[in-house]
Amino acid sequence: IAAASSAEKLAVCKAHGADECINYLTENLRERLKVLTDGRGIDVVCDPVGGAYSEQAIRSMAWRGRFLVVGFADGEIPKIPLNLPLLKGCSILGVFWGDFIRREPENLEADLTELVSLYRQKKIKPLVSARYPLEGVCDALNAMMQRKVSGKIVIIP
């Protein structure tokens, strides 16, 4: 289940494997998640955006679900009431690749080997939405700040 703020972003999600899509600007996120999960709730949330919808996602968790905090693209760091993990029996887990590499360098090689293997087997396909020459870094950053990027951008030296 993918959730995004525009039909264009949801089309990208659908094209990359989402079974269901929710436009949280035009639909009630919690109600739609309830319908899509037959009232059971979500097992895993991967949240790279943060903001106001994070709490709604946690409120929609299944018993013993996991909420992965990946980033705050929205710019707002959500304030989560701590009774929610208690009531849901769920866990909130920070996923910070940069610090993982620094703290657990011994695991980096194995993880990268697995990622490259999955990529070569075509089990994962990173979405590169745009490529910019090095002198276009300002344009690339502006596109990110204006939320015009769906996926990753690549800077070509």
Whether residue 108 is contained in a domain is answered as no
In a domain, 20, yes or no: yes
pLDDT digit string, tens, across residues 97-140: 889 999 999 999 999 999 999 999 999 888 998 999 999 999 99
Q: Does 138 share its domain with 79?
A: no
Q: Which residues contact 95 (CB under 8 A, 6 or more apart)?
A: 46, 68, 69, 70
Assign residue 33 the CATH number of its domain: 3.40.50.720
101 within some domain? no
pLDDT of residue 147: 78
Domain count for the chain, please give it. Answer: 2
In a 3-state reduction of DSSP, which class is residue 68? strand
Low-confidence ranges of the chain (pLDDT < 50): none
Is residue 76 helix, strand or coil? Answer: coil
pTM of the prediction? 0.82
Domain assignment of residue 109, yes or no:
no
**Domain limits at 148?**
128-157
Residue 102 lies in a domain: no
Alpha carbon 75 to chain centroid distance? Answer: 14
Backbone angle region of 33, left / alpha / beta, with phi > 0 → left and psi within -120 to 50 → alpha: alpha
To the nearest 10°, the Cα dihedral for 12, 56, 79, 141? 10
